[in-house]
C-alpha cells in the first residue's frame, strides 16, 4: 500500500495566461491558500527572477514540482526523435537548458516528450535515436541529486500520434532504457490509454514497475464523434458527474485505488495524481480549478482514500 497525493496541473488550468510569466506566477501564489494540493505541475519559466520565486514557493509549501518540457520543445519545432541529426542535436541541447531551468525552479520530475509518429517505416530508427537523446539528457540530470525524468506514453494512432504510444511496447522499450537511466519514470495518462483502446487497469499494471505520477483525463473515444480525441476536456459536476466522455469519479476512484494498492517504488518519494483539464481564453480559470479539485476529491472519496480538504 502507498499513499497518493493530489497535484495541481496549473499549466493546463491556467493555459490562456501561461505566456505572461509574472501573471501566471501570481496565480500560483494565490493557489497556495488551497490546502488540498501537495504537488504542482507547470511549464518552464524563462524569466530567472520568476524561477527563483517558484523555487521559494515550492520549498515553502513542500510541493513536489513537475515541470513539463513538452510545450517549449514543440513551440521551437524541435524533436528529440528527429532522424535529422542536426535537429536532434539542437533538440537535446535545448532540452538540457530546460532541465537546468526546471532544476532551478525546484523540480523533482522533468517530463520529456517523445516525438511524432511518422509511420511504420521509420519507427524503429526513431525509437533508437530517441533512446540516445534520453541517455544524453540523463547525463545532464545526474548532476542534480533531486531531479529525475518522466515520460508520458501517448496514443500513437488516435489523437496525439506519438512514437511512444502502446503501453506494452513502451514498457518493454523503457525497461531497456532504465538499465542506463535509473532515475527515469512513467507518467501515466488515462486519456491516452483510453484512446489506445486498452483496459485501464491492465495498462496501469503494465506501467506499475516505473509509475511515478498519473493524469486522470477525460476524452471521447468514438472516432465518429466531432469531439473525438485528446482535448483535455472538462470533467463532470455533482451530482451525476456526466459528460460525453468516459471518465467519472467511479472510474477515477478505481484507478486511484489500484495505484494505492501498489508498494512504493524505489526512487519515487511520493506518487501523485492530478486531473488534466485545459482552460481556453475567456474561461473562468478559478472556476476550472474548482472543477478539477471537486472531481479529484470525489475520486479520492470513491477510492476510500484520505485527503486534506
Task: List contacts with Mn ion (CB under 5 A).
Answer: 189, 215, 276
**Between 189 and 234, CB nearer to Mn ion:** 189
**Between 129 and 151, CB nearer to Mn ion:** 151
**Min. distance of Cβ 191 from Mn ion in angstroms?**
7
Measured in whole angstroms, the distance separating CA 115 from the mean position of its chain's CA atoms is 15
d(CA 148, CA 45): 18
**Min. distance of Cβ 230 from Mn ion in angstroms?**
8
**Between 215 and 278, CB nearer to Mn ion:** 215
The residue written with cell numbers 542534480 in the block is 144
**Min. distance of Cβ 215 from Mn ion in angstroms?**
4
**Between 276 and 298, CB nearer to Mn ion:** 276
Q: How many CB atoms lie within 10 A of CB 68?
A: 25
**Min. distance of Cβ 218 from Mn ion in angstroms?**
11
**Min. distance of Cβ 239 from Mn ion in angstroms?**
27
**Min. distance of Cβ 236 from Mn ion in angstroms?**
18
**Grid coordinates belonging to 58:** 515550492
Cβ distance 191 to 215 under 8 Å? yes
Q: Are strands 64-68 and 4-9 parallel, antiparallel or unpaired?
A: unpaired
**Min. distance of Cβ 195 from Mn ion in angstroms?**
11
Q: Which residues pair with 68 in a beta bridge?
A: 43, 111
**Between 109 and 215, CB nearer to Mn ion:** 215
d(CA 144, CA 115): 25
**Between 80 and 129, CB nearer to Mn ion:** 80
- Is the omega angle on the peptide bond into residue 202 within 30 degrees of 0, that is, cis? no
Torsion of CA 164, 137, 42, 157, to 10 degrees: -10
Give just the sign of the alpha carbon dihedral 19, 152, 290, 60.
negative
**Between 38 and 192, CB nearer to Mn ion:** 192
Q: Are strands 211-216 and 184-189 parallel, antiparallel or unpaired?
A: parallel
**Among the listed residues 236, 163, 251, the one whose alpha carbon sits nearest the alpha carbon of residue 204:** 251
**Between 129 and 273, CB nearer to Mn ion:** 273
Locate the DSSP E strands across 217-300: 218-220, 229-233, 271-275
**Min. distance of Cβ 68 from Mn ion in angstroms?**
9
Amino acid at each position: 500500500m502507498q499513499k497518493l497525493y493530489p497535484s495541481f496541473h496549473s499549466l493546463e488550468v491556467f493555459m490562456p495566461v501561461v505566456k505572461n510569466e509574472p501573471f501566471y506566477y501570481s496565480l500560483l501564489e494565490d493557489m497556495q491558500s488551497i490546502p488540498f494540493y501537495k504537488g504542482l505541475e507547470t511549464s518552464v519559466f524563462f524569466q530567472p527572477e520568476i524561477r527563483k520565486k517558484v523555487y521559494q514557493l515550492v520549498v515553502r509549501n513542500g510541493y513536489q514540482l513537475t515541470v513539463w518540457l513538452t510545450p517549449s520543445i514543440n513551440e521551437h519545432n524541435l524533436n528529440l526523435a528527429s532522424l535529422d541529426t542536426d535537429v536532434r542535436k539542437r533538440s537535446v541541447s535545448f532540452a538540457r537548458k530546460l532541465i537546468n531551468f526546471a532544476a532551478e525552479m525546484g523540480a523533482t520530475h522533468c517530463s520529456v516528450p517523445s516525438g511524432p509518429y511518422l509511420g511504420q517505416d521509420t519507427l524503429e530508427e526513431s525509437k533508437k535515436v530517441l533512446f540516445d537523446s534520453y541517455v544524453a539528457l540523463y547525463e545532464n540530470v545526474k548532476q542534480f541529486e533531486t531531479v529525475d525524468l518522466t515520460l508520458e506514453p501517448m496514443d500513437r494512432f488516435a489523437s496525439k500520434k506519438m512514437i511512444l504510444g502502446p503501453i506494452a511496447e513502451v514498457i518493454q522499450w523503457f525497461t531497456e532504457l532504465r538499465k542506463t537511466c535509473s532515475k527515469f519514470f512513467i507518467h501515466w495518462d488515462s486519456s491516452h490509454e483510453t484512446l489506445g483502446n486498452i483496459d485501464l487497469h491492465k495498462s496501469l499494471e503494465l506501467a506499475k514497475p516505473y509509475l511515478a505520477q498519473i493524469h486522470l483525463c477525460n476524452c471521447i473515444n468514438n472516432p465518429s464523434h466531432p469531439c473525438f480525441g485528446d482535448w483535455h476536456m472538462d470533467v463532470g459536476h455533482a451530482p451525476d458527474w456526466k459528460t460525453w466522455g468516459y471518465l467519472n469519479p467511479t472510474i477515477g476512484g478505481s484507478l486511484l485505488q489500484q495505484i494505492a494498492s501498489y508498494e512504493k517504488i524505489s526512487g519515487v518519494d511520493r506518487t501523485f495524481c492530478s486531473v488534466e483539464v485545459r482552460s481556453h481564453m475567456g474561461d473562468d480559470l478559478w472556476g476550472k480549478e474548482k472543477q478539477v479539485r471537486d472531481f479529484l476529491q470525489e475520486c479520492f472519496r470513491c477510492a476510500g482514500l484520505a485527503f486534506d480538504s
